[in-house]
Amino acid sequence: MKKKISLRVIKRISFYYEALLKLNLSDDLYISSIKLEEITGVSSNQIRQDFFYLGISIGKQKKGYQIKRLFNELKKVLPIDRRVDVIIIGAGRLGCCLSEYKLFEVRHINVVALFDVKEELISKAEERGSHCAPIHHIDKLDGFLSEHPNIKIALLTLPENSAQEMLNKLVKLGIKGIVNFAPKILKIPEYAEDVQIVNDCIGASLYKVIYQIYNKA
């Protein structure tokens, strides 16, 4: 049976992975737990404990961890190499910025479409050749998800007064993971099963949701 890992550990592991991405070091270089502490804010002692807990025993005394090998070990824990398609509900500034987020590509997170109620946003995007993913009217959401059953994650960038209603709709349409950016704590309907929501920031939140969906014991 696959070892079930605490979500607290998953969140910290995602911080370590993000730190390595941002440093952009050569594969053959080494990084110490002290350096990781400086970047992530997680104590070097906790980092070593996490690696020990996960069976990552590739560190060398006085040198630290080779970048390439550490990346490979972290990828065994996080579903980094799994391509994950997501949608964004809300095509305003935040929604479009998220769809253009360049580091999503190296995280294998693919924003396939945005949805909104405003026709002018859809028209303007088509006219100016926006780099955003395609923007559809929200009325097309049901049909789109029926045609793309692999999509199980949605990002919400909606006003707080409509966010909970949209979440309920997404759950009924089969969405299993939701990252909420509305300024309101949303809740999963009582009738829903195996649905995860994160009212949190983007990097750690997406990894947490993806992990819970695709790494069940």
Task: Tell me the mean pLDDT in the region 202-208.
Answer: 68
**167 SS3 class:** helix
Taking the C-alpha atoms of residue 89 and residue 100, their distance in angstroms, rounded to an integer, is: 14
Say which residue, 96 or 166, is predicted with more confidence.
Answer: 166
Instruction: Measure the N-to-C terminal CA separation of the chain; round to a whole number of Å.
Output: 7
Evaluate if residue 217 carries a pLDDT over 60.
no
pLDDT at res. 213: 84
CATH classification at residue 17? 1.10.10.10
pLDDT at res. 126: 60
CATH classification at residue 163? 3.40.50.720
In terms of C-beta distances under 8 Å and separation of at least 24 residues, what long-range contacts does 128-135 make, across chains too?
130/96, 131/100, 132/91, 132/95, 132/96, 132/99, 132/100, 133/88, 133/99, 135/91
pLDDT at res. 1: 46
Taking the C-alpha atoms of residue 200 and residue 154, their distance in angstroms, rounded to an integer, is: 13
pLDDT digits (tens, 9 = 90+) for 45-81: 999 999 999 888 888 888 899 999 999 889 888 876 6
Q: At 180, which helix (H) or strand (E)?
A: strand 177-180
> Do 25 and 107 share a domain, yes or no?
no
The boundaries of the domain holding residue 207 are 84-214
Domain membership of residue 43 (yes or no) is yes
Percent of the chain clearing pLDDT 90 (strictly above): 38
> Do 93 and 40 share a domain, yes or no?
no
CB 67 within 8 A of CB 20: yes
* pTM (predicted TM-score): 0.69
pLDDT digits (tens, 9 = 90+) for 98-152: 888 877 877 788 999 999 998 887 766 665 555 568 899 999 999 999 999 999 9
